[in-house]
Structure formats: C-alpha cells, structure tokens
Amino acid sequence: MDVQAIVNLHPEVVIIDELAHTNIEGSKNEKRWQDVVEVLEAGISVISAVNIQHLESLNEEVRQITGIEVTERIPDNILRMADEVVNIDLTADELVTRLREGKIYDPAKVETALRNFFQPDKILQLRELALKEVAAQVERKIDAELPQTIKLKPERFLACISSNEQTAKAVIRKTAWLASYYNSTWKLLYVQTPAEAPARIPLAAQRHLINNFKLATQMGAEVIQVQSDNVPQAILDVVRERDITTVCMGKPHFSLIRIILNTAVFNKLLNNLSSSEVDLIILS
C-alpha cells in the first residue's frame, strides 16, 4: 500500500515498520522515513520502529563497534519528531536466542549473523547506545515542557567543514548529535577559499562536498556557504550574525611547518571566540 492509499483511508494511527529501510524501485519516495513524514503531514499518527545502528549521527560509532558500515540510515531529526520514544530493551542472550529461533533472520543466515553483527560484546555496546539515546530523548522532552521563564539560553551549534570528505562527515554527524541532545538548532558552514575554488579541486571532492551538504540538510542543518581567503574571520562573522553559542570543527591535519605558520591565526580565532563566550569543540 502506498502513501496515498494510506491517506485515503483516513485512519487515526498507522504502523509503518522498518523505518530506515529503502522502498522498492518505482515507489514515490526512496526511503520509508520519507513516507512517514508524508503521513504525519496528512495528520495521521504513526507508530514505527528502528534499530539504534540506523541513526545517522551514530554511524561512525556503530562502524567502530561492529566493523560494519550500515548503509540504511535515518536523519536524527526524524527521531526528534516523535512524541514518544520507547526502548525495546533485550539482553544480548535474549537477542541471540531469538536469532537462533529464526525470529529475526532466515535460518540460513543465522550462523553468519552470529559470527559478525550479533556477537554478545557488540550487542551490549549497541544496547548501551540505545539506552543513552532514549535517555537523551527523555531529557529533551522534559526541557521542552519546562515553562519558558526558567529555560536557559538555547544552544546554537555551528559545524565548520572543508572539502575533506571524511573529516566533514564526522563533524556533521557529531554536531547533529549534539544539537539533537540539546534539542537545539545547528548550521553548517563551508568557507570556500581560493585554494578550494571549483576549478582547483577534483570533481570527486566537489561531489563529496555536495553530498555532505545534502547529509547536513537531511539532519536538520541550515547550510551556509561563503567565499573568503580569511577562514577564521569568516567563521567569526557567521558566529556574530547567527548568535552561535558553540563552534564545532575537525581536528586539523597539519604538518609541523603549517602548524607553526597557522598558530597565530588559530589563536586569534580562539581568543575572539573566548571573548564572545562562544565554546569551541575540536572533533576527532
């Protein structure tokens, strides 16, 4: 049944399982979470389910735990749209038992799964991630329901990236997680220097940059692009214009000589942020 058919039925609540999965070819939307957004916009409530490893901001952490790149993921802001988030918490032993009983995968795939993703130590770490995420969701709900008069100044995060694909992805995901944790807005800043002009960087780097803009947008960010040969000043200008409270950037990968040459520039940025009471987070 497609989205339009669901809407035509006018139910009060529908169940749409496997939130992170890809729809079959020819569907109106590529992803199931996009169907859910449409159904919600039609005024229909949705009950769904998703595994913690499918959350976009946790992708790198999940890869480090499991050694597997999870390809089907949902933007974090989809989870933030939920009125309630409930953790279906199974112990590692219970999950392995269900797997062996054929309640999760086809029996032919069980032994392979047990040797790879479904190892007890990996399940325990994923379970911990799930518990932390649900706890954060509860904190956000409490914060959202506090009287406005006792709320603190809201956090506003600025993620700063370059055309370096891997560093940019890490900064985007971790900043999105921070923004989600604090129930706050965030923006992505890319300062295009003369050295990163389209004519001077490879086409592959340009494609990765566009994909990172798309990833940030899906995760709830406003993308800001500026051209400047003075990156620290461009960052400071955006911080002041957008009333940013926290700047996030990747760990610089400089040679010793470049570190020496850039120390004064970095110190200027750090001092200016400090005097404005803006936090700086270096993400590895």
Residues 203 and 210: beta-carbon distance below 8 Å: no
More confident residue, 146 or 34: 34
Question: How does pLDDT run across 5-40, given as a tens digit for each residue?
Answer: 555 555 688 889 899 999 999 999 999 999 999 999
Residues 179, 239, single domain; the answer is yes
**Cβ–Cβ < 8 Å for 208, 162:** no
Alpha carbons 124 and 148: distance in angstroms, whole number: 38
Q: How many Cα atoms occupy the beta-carbon half-sphere of 125 within 13 Å?
A: 14
Pairwise CA distance, residues 241 & 248, whole Å: 17
Residues paired with 156 in a beta bridge: 185
Residue 148 has pLDDT above 70, yes or no: no
* Statement to judge: residues 182 and 224 lie in one domain: yes
| Alpha carbon distance 141, 60 (integer Å) | 26
225 and 165, same structural domain? yes
Name the pTM for this structure: 0.62
Span 162-184, pLDDT tens digits? 888 878 998 999 999 889 888 88
Look up the CATH number of the domain holding residue 197. 3.40.50.620
Which of 72-76, 141-145, 176-180 has the weakest average pLDDT? Answer: 141-145
Containing structural domain, residue 39: 3-146
Residues 196 and 132 in one domain: no
∠ CA 22-26-27, rounded to 5° = 55
Q: What's the distance, CA 139 to chain centroid?
A: 18
Cα separations in angstroms, 104 against 97, 99, 192: 10, 5, 47
> What pLDDT does 189 receive?
96
State the CB neighbour count (10 A cutoff) for residue 96: 19
- Give the residue carrying structure tokens 């005024």: 43
Last residue of a domain, one of 146, 165, 197: 146
pLDDT at 260: 44
Number of domains in the chain: 2
Residue 207 or residue 264, greater confidence: 207
Query: Which backbone phi and psi does 248 adopt, to 5 degrees?
Result: -120, 135
- Residue 127 belongs to a domain with what CATH number? 3.40.50.300
Phi then psi for residue 265, to 5 deg, are -65, -45
